[in-house]
Amino acid sequence: MSLALNTTRRLRLGHVDLSLIPLGLAGLFLAMLVLLPLGWLLAYTVTDESGALSWTNVVELADTSLFLEPFITTFGIALGVASLACLLAVPLAWLVARTDVPARRLLRGLVMVSFITPPFIGAVAWVLLAAPNSGLLNQYYRGITGAGTFDYLFNIFSAAGIIFVMASYAFPYVFVLAANTLDRMPHDLEEASAILGGGRWHTFRRVTLPMVLPALLAGFIIAFLQAMTQFGTPAILALPAGFHVLTTKIWSLFQFPPKAHLAAACAMPLLLVTIFLLRLEKTLLGRRGYTMVGGKSGSPQLAKLGVWRWPALLLALLLLFVTVLLPNLVLVRASMLRSVSDPWTLETITWANVPLVFGLSNTVGVLKNTLVTGVVSATLGTAFAVLIAYLTARRAVPGHQVLGFLATAPAAIPGIVLGVALFIAYTRPPFQLYGTLWILLLAFLTIEMPPAYQQMQAAFRGLNPELEDASRILGAGRMKSLAKVVAPLLKTSVAATWCFVFIGAIRELSATILLTTSNTKLVSVLIYDLNEGGALGGIAVLGLVLMAVTAVVVLIANRVAHVGVMPDGR
């Protein structure tokens, strides 16, 4: 017996290894996904309208009202958000992780519910609650105190209002980091300190705090980044108040006539600060992963709160009621009323908002667009994540480290920056994608690649490569082994990743706002438009639909994957 083909042909075949071609193409596509837009962004930053190399953009940026003011505002707000988020999250995390406060699971669950609400919908809810005139809370205030028509208690259209709203959607991220750290922290250290005579305060300051501090700083950075890069909340709250943050400024540069060069220059600092802060966070967290929710180990020594158990619980519930439940409740209320200022009684309840919203000429089309881009980007994104994670986990091709870097790099690109970059890159030949759903697809693929890749990478690490080798030696090629052995074994991770990307895509606003046209509108942008038109009942309906879909998908993902999956904050 001898091998069927002659040696030279065999060798050549082996040398190329045909199955590497699709894998190589995936790598190439990934490079294009990240490098092409960023390259254009850089190019636009340092050129003028005529394409000549110039510093005019940078010079114009130095103009205070254009850049400096929004920049300072953004920084101030982000600092405020990060501080407030930590202030809310850390005591709560300590309560549920380290004390005998009642209903700890309920408290954890309520925090998770907050991930379901996209922040920009939360912002609309807070407009309903605390706009100076029409806000419900202010109406109640006037009703109770008999204050004048123009008096108000809260004004959400203010820097303080923005900080509060953003912090209430950022603190769950800090909470998860802090609670996980407290859960995993070896308790024996604390106990040792207590045995050695350290008082509770001393133990906290000298043992607990130093161990939690890195996670806390990392949480601070995450909240800071969210506040700095978000578009929706400031657009809804700061623009009526008459000031800009960086993201809204960039967006305004795209209002007619678009100033893409200036926008590119304006996006650069956002990009650089993000990269810097993410590096800092990585250093702080080291190699430990804090992304998993749940998975507690051991039973920690819980601090006894004594008589303070119930007051502590009440306080925690109050906090969660205000930040999590109240906005959602007011959305439900608004979805059922013709006018948001109507009282909420059996007589005034109506379904009128539903046909109203779905009767708008473009709503059905918008929902279809959202669903299509969501499903397609989830499917393609997961497929790419699987391929790239496979290449890097198995070191299958030379240069796999570069692939891993490229796949995680978009995490440092804020949505609005990516929006600018994609707009520039794809409004020109050979890729004239602006005005099609393709450009949105590219945006979502890029934005969701890092988390999707990291999930799949972890899954591959847990899979013995010999399982795959066994398939190959029995006669299956690389791709076939991937399909017949690896895919079935990873299907839960694949499903979880799919859900993750899907949720991320259907609620994205920051990049989408720059990339949609009237024909390619998505739900998030429709909600934003309705807000500008003051159709708050319609927003409430759409927002609730979006949240219901998110909740269902999250539940499914958690069911199949047995790990915590939470939507992304952008």
Partner 1 sequence: MSKLVLSGLTKRYGSHAAVDTLDLTVESGHLVSLLGPSGCGKTTTLRLVSGFAVPDGGSISVAGQVVSSARGVVPPEKREMSMIFQSYALWPHLTVAENVAYGLKLRKLPRADIERRVQAMLDTMQLRRFEARYPAELSGGQQQRVGLARALVVEPKILLLDEPLSNLDASLREEMRHEIRRLHDRFHYTTIYVTHDQAEAMTTSDLIAVMRDGKIEQAGAPDDIYERPETEFVARFIGSTNILRGRRVGEHEADCDGLRLVCESGHWPEDGSAVVSIRPHRITLSGAADGSAPGTVERAIYLGAQRHYIVALDAGPKLQVLASSDVLAHEGERVGLTLPPAHCRALIR
- Tokens for 366, please give them: 């918008």
Q: Which of residues 49, 188, 469, 532 is near partner 1 by CB under 8 A?
A: 469
- Tokens for 205, please give them: 């300051």
Q: Which of residues 195, 196, 307, 474 is near partner 1 by CB under 8 A?
A: 474
Instruction: Return the range that interacts with partner 1 (CB under 8 A); candidates 8-16, 218-226, 299-307, 546-554.
Output: 8-16
- Which residue has 């895509």 as its token pair? 505
b or e along 340-369 (b: 16 or more beta carbons within 10 Å of the residue's beta carbon)? bebeeeeeeeeeebeebbeebeebeebbeb
- Nearest-CA neighbor of 29 among 388, 415, 389? 388
Q: Which of residues 146, 306, 475, 533 is near partner 1 by CB under 8 A?
A: 475
If the CB atoms of residues 182 and 490 are measured against partner 1, the closer one turns out to be 490
- Tokens for 166, please give them: 């953003």
Q: Kind and range of the H or E element at 432?
A: strand 431-432
If the CB atoms of residues 396 and 556 are measured against partner 1, the closer one turns out to be 396
The minimum distance between CB 456 and partner 1, in angstroms, equals 18
Residue 35 near partner 1 by CB under 8 A: no
- Which residue has 């499914």 as its token pair? 556
Residue 14 near partner 1 by CB under 8 A: yes
If the CB atoms of residues 10 and 559 are measured against partner 1, the closer one turns out to be 10
The minimum distance between CB 454 and partner 1, in angstroms, equals 24
Residue 397 near partner 1 by CB under 8 A: no
Residue 298 near partner 1 by CB under 8 A: no
Among positions 423-442, residues that touch partner 1 (CB under 8 A) are none
Residue 279 near partner 1 by CB under 8 A: no
Residue 494 near partner 1 by CB under 8 A: no
Instruction: Return the range that interacts with partner 1 (CB under 8 A); candidates 5-13, 39-47, 150-158, 181-189.
Output: 5-13
Residue 458 near partner 1 by CB under 8 A: no
The minimum distance between CB 22 and partner 1, in angstroms, equals 15
Largest CA distance in the chain: 101
How many binding residues for partner 1 (CB under 8 A)? 30
The minimum distance between CB 483 and partner 1, in angstroms, equals 12
Angle of CA points 216, 217, 221, to nearest 5°: 120
Q: Kind and range of the H or E element at 549?
A: helix 536-561
Distances (CA, A) of 443 to 32, 67, 179, 417: 12, 25, 32, 11
Q: Kind and range of the H or E element at 431?
A: strand 431-432
Residue 17 near partner 1 by CB under 8 A: yes
Length of the chain: 570
If the CB atoms of residues 20 and 46 are measured against partner 1, the closer one turns out to be 20
> Distance (Å, rounded) from C-alpha 367 to C-alpha 390?
34
The answer to whether 453 and 407 have CB atoms below 8 angstroms apart is: yes
The answer to whether 232 and 528 have CB atoms below 8 angstroms apart is: yes
If the CB atoms of residues 8 and 65 are measured against partner 1, the closer one turns out to be 8
Residue 488 near partner 1 by CB under 8 A: yes
Residue 395 near partner 1 by CB under 8 A: no
The minimum distance between CB 73 and partner 1, in angstroms, equals 53
Residue 473 near partner 1 by CB under 8 A: yes
The minimum distance between CB 394 and partner 1, in angstroms, equals 11
| Angle, helix 437-461 to helix 491-506, in steps of 10 degrees | 150
Residue 25 near partner 1 by CB under 8 A: no
Residue 168 CB contacts under 8 Å (≥ 6 apart), including other chains? 88, 114, 122, 322, 323, 324, 327
If the CB atoms of residues 6 and 149 are measured against partner 1, the closer one turns out to be 6
Instruction: Return the range that interacts with partner 1 (CB under 8 A); candidates 51-59, 407-415, 463-471, 522-530.
Output: 463-471
> Distance (Å, rounded) from C-alpha 254 to C-alpha 423?
10
The minimum distance between CB 484 and partner 1, in angstroms, equals 8
Q: Kind and range of the H or E element at 470?
A: helix 465-473
If the CB atoms of residues 470 and 548 are measured against partner 1, the closer one turns out to be 470
Give 303's strand partners. 99
If the CB atoms of residues 1 and 53 are measured against partner 1, the closer one turns out to be 1
Residue 12 near partner 1 by CB under 8 A: yes
If the CB atoms of residues 6 and 65 are measured against partner 1, the closer one turns out to be 6
Q: Which of residues 92, 485, 530, 536 is near partner 1 by CB under 8 A?
A: 485
Distances (CA, A) of 310 to 102, 221, 357, 559: 7, 32, 44, 33
Q: Which of residues 218, 366, 384, 467 is near partner 1 by CB under 8 A?
A: 467
Q: Which of residues 53, 149, 466, 533 is near partner 1 by CB under 8 A?
A: 466
Residue 470 near partner 1 by CB under 8 A: yes
Distances (CA, A) of 466 to 397, 463, 485, 486: 18, 9, 11, 11
Residue 483 near partner 1 by CB under 8 A: no
> Distance (Å, rounded) from C-alpha 538 to C-alpha 528?
11
> Distance (Å, rounded) from C-alpha 170 to C-alpha 147?
34
Helix (H, G, I), strand (E, B) or coil at 427: strand
> Distance (Å, rounded) from C-alpha 66 to C-alpha 82?
25
Residue 338 near partner 1 by CB under 8 A: no
The minimum distance between CB 397 and partner 1, in angstroms, equals 13
Residue 347 near partner 1 by CB under 8 A: no
> Distance (Å, rounded) from C-alpha 502 to C-alpha 556?
12
Q: Which of residues 13, 147, 280, 483 is near partner 1 by CB under 8 A?
A: 13
Residue 493 near partner 1 by CB under 8 A: no
> Distance (Å, rounded) from C-alpha 247 to C-alpha 235?
8
Residue 503 near partner 1 by CB under 8 A: no
**φ, ψ for residue 298, nearest 5 deg:** 70, 170
Contacts with partner 1 by CB under 8 A lie at: 1-3, 6-7, 10-15, 17, 464, 466-467, 469-478, 480, 484-485, 488-489
